[in-house]
Structure 1
């Protein structure tokens, strides 16, 4: 989820790589938020469509779930290097090209006649998504005045939060009404429209010549960054181990049908957006406290799911709690990283994006294997245990303390 404005927490050195703009380009901020929404919605879309995609391609739900693994791994592998490889190119042009790749990847997904073709499409999506996300994470200082950076970054990352919570239920409804491929055609069209709008709206943003492979290594040497990355990995892995298979889980626990699953995911989504915007301001003041609270909430919700989600009402309430707590994970963990390494904002963000997406892949993989061999109960309890580990790590470490240890 974002970086914080300098006025929102203890003073920290401004990244030396580029100066803040003296203008506010809020339309550009909104477009970048829209781009993060589309790429994350595309990544997550199979979650709500596992059953119909599996039926169409004659594959198990666990196998179709691997499409998230593919996308996550590719995004994780490429995200840290996109800012480096494209450092000689204007960020505006780079984002436009990447969004066109996103459009192509979703079109190919919609046309896929087999899992092999689906996998190729998801590889293309992973490359373009990792690039969009990595660049978007560091653009707020180039688009708004210094005092507005915190708000702009929260808006940009809200695209990720909204996609994570609304993209899946929207796809579920579209899939139920018109077929799963229509959901991916809609994403393809949205990506193409955003690319055209970026051409008209985004200001010129020269590439950051200072970013190099050495910057990535320097950011990773920061103990606070490493702790934040570890917490991110644990929380995201726990979440996606369960969330990737939430549809079969709700069908098993509560006897929910496709329409009811879509409704529960919308409830999850609404509370997730609320959680994102509540967590943001508090995380800017104390990312440690927010991360601890969110970790506890996620662990408890996942642990209680197999026990309490026996009715539609109970399932809806648990989905609401889950959405609220997970909705703030991106903004709070990204803020942890920003507090730990304010002078290496872009490099640390690229590493965070890589770990976030690798953890999506790991969670989907672990969840799929457990689901196919032990059933949904085990999936949720194992995920709860992983979230508990994140909570313990957040309790014993702090981004500011870790940074001070590095400098003493």
Structure 2
């Protein structure tokens, strides 16, 4: 059990460094723009480019590495990640910084897919939801603690030092992973057609729409969280850091509750979750005149933000284990792929709503997508009832 807990910490640490690398740009926008004489808005496009490359490339690279040892694939990809992150710190121009971010995005999605796959394999059956929830929490912990620390490093020293710090932590994590994770792990071999067979299953086809519309709905609101707090709710800019920090804590709580949902009811509870989330988004525009009531609604939305993560991740993995064992790694990647596509949908929808209707309407715009997700999860539960998934356990590794 001690070995399992240590391995669990390593897997969460991998998610943490991936989160730090992905989110760090948000904290160093001004410093990068100043050094390269590039508008802050242009630096902001690095976030968009990263998310799109991440979402588009992950399934293709996942299909390739899925034929090889999980351990060796993880080690190779983490070395590429470390080199790409170091390249970001060395970038001599904005162009080369963009190239380094693209290289990092190419491997980041596959690394988290392998991390979740390994978590699913090493965890005892009753610990799977707990460990997967913690792996996802690694990203939330990065946004709450890692990014502010990286931002402090950037403002105190240079933005390049933020990347050096990530490299140092990544090297330590790589060494610990090499000596602690089991080396003999792989899925049943299969060609490209065999692996893609997973996507023909109706339970998978409906399931991938949930992170798409679910994250799309919340990101209509979340993309404009800062102006919501300052412009709509009239909180001071001095209090903004504290409010964002508290919201980050609600995101960690959300991931942990996600593990509990996966353990006690799983997807069967998600229609109620989506109903609550849709109601919160719907009433937000109605209570903006009541500052503290509206703030409570905002924090409640933070708690609902990641509740789907563990239930849908376990659904993908269990369907693959039972009927498509050659597609385990691909199954592990589906949630993060479509979550990132959902981010693009939500942020683009939010921009349209704010431009044509106004900031106060973003709650209703997000509620529409959440309502769609609620209908889809009811459909998915009916499909699962027709063809129940048999949960299997792994031998101790």
Partner of residue 69 from structure 1, selected from 38, 45, 48: 48
List aligned pairs for 1:24-173, cutoff 5 A. 25-47=4-26, 58-59=38-39, 61=41, 63-87=42-66, 89-110=68-89, 116-163=95-142, 167=146
The worse-fitting range, judged by mean Cα deviation, of 138-147 and 311-320 is 311-320
The worse-fitting range, judged by mean Cα deviation, of 257-266 and 179-188 is 179-188
Instruction: Using the TM superposition, give the Cα deviation of residue 73 of structure 1 relative to its aligned residue in structure 2, in angstroms.
Output: 1.9
Give yes or no for contact 2:207–2:380 (8 Å, CA) kept in 1: no
Count of aligned pairs: 384
The answer to whether structure 1 residue 322 and structure 2 residue 305 are counterparts is no
Closer/same/farther in 2, CA of residues 142 and 401 from structure 1, 3 Å limit: closer
List aligned pairs for 1:193-208, cutoff 5 A. 193-208=172-187
Structure 1: distance between partners of 2:92 and 2:293:
38
Unaligned ranges ≥5, structure 2 = 390-397
1:216-275 residue CA offsets vs partner (Å, 9 max, x unmatched): 422112212121110110011223343234234433224455653322222122222223
Structure 1: distance between partners of 2:295 and 2:156:
22
Give yes or no for contact 1:90–1:205 (8 Å, CA) kept in 2: yes
Partner of residue 341 from structure 2, selected from 350, 358, 361: 358
Q: TM-score, normalising length from structure 2?
A: 0.80
Partner of residue 231 from structure 1, selected from 206, 210, 217: 210
1:320-360 residue CA offsets vs partner (Å, 9 max, x unmatched): 21221113231132234345554234332223332223323
Give yes or no for contact 2:85–2:104 (8 Å, CA) kept in 1: yes
Give yes or no for contact 2:221–2:350 (8 Å, CA) kept in 1: yes
The answer to whether structure 1 residue 398 and structure 2 residue 378 are counterparts is no
Equivalent position of 1:265 in the other structure:
244
Q: TM-score, normalising length from structure 1?
A: 0.78
Closer/same/farther in 2, CA of residues 98 and 282 from structure 1, 3 Å limit: same
The worse-fitting range, judged by mean Cα deviation, of 282-291 and 30-39 is 282-291
Give yes or no for contact 1:66–1:365 (8 Å, CA) kept in 2: no
Structure 2: distance between partners of 1:53 and 1:255:
30
Give yes or no for contact 2:25–2:47 (8 Å, CA) kept in 1: yes
CA RMSD of superposed structures (Å) = 3.6
Equivalent position of 2:395 in the other structure:
none
Structure 2: distance between partners of 1:99 and 1:399:
39
Structure 1: distance between partners of 2:162 and 2:243:
19
The answer to whether structure 1 residue 347 and structure 2 residue 330 are counterparts is yes
SS of equivalent residue, structure 1 residue 25: helix
Structure 1: distance between partners of 2:165 and 2:358:
33
Equivalent position of 1:298 in the other structure:
277
Structure 2: distance between partners of 1:38 and 1:60:
24
Instruction: Using the TM superposition, give the Cα deviation of residue 135 of structure 1 relative to its aligned residue in structure 2, in angstroms.
Output: 0.8
Closer/same/farther in 2, CA of residues 282 and 141 from structure 1, 3 Å limit: closer
Structure 2: distance between partners of 1:236 and 1:121:
27
The worse-fitting range, judged by mean Cα deviation, of 204-213 and 118-127 is 204-213
Structure 1: distance between partners of 2:119 and 2:299:
30
The answer to whether structure 1 residue 383 and structure 2 residue 366 are counterparts is yes
Equivalent position of 1:281 in the other structure:
260
Equivalent position of 2:394 in the other structure:
none
Structure 1: distance between partners of 2:366 and 2:115:
29
Instruction: Using the TM superposition, give the Cα deviation of residue 398 of structure 1 relative to its aligned residue in structure 2, in angstroms.
Output: 0.9
Closer/same/farther in 2, CA of residues 176 and 394 from structure 1, 3 Å limit: farther
Give yes or no for contact 2:213–2:370 (8 Å, CA) kept in 1: yes
Structure 2: distance between partners of 1:90 and 1:379:
45
Give yes or no for contact 1:241–1:364 (8 Å, CA) kept in 2: yes
Equivalent position of 1:4 in the other structure:
none
Give yes or no for contact 2:25–2:46 (8 Å, CA) kept in 1: yes
Structure 2: distance between partners of 1:316 and 1:180:
33
Equivalent position of 1:13 in the other structure:
none
Give yes or no for contact 1:105–1:188 (8 Å, CA) kept in 2: no
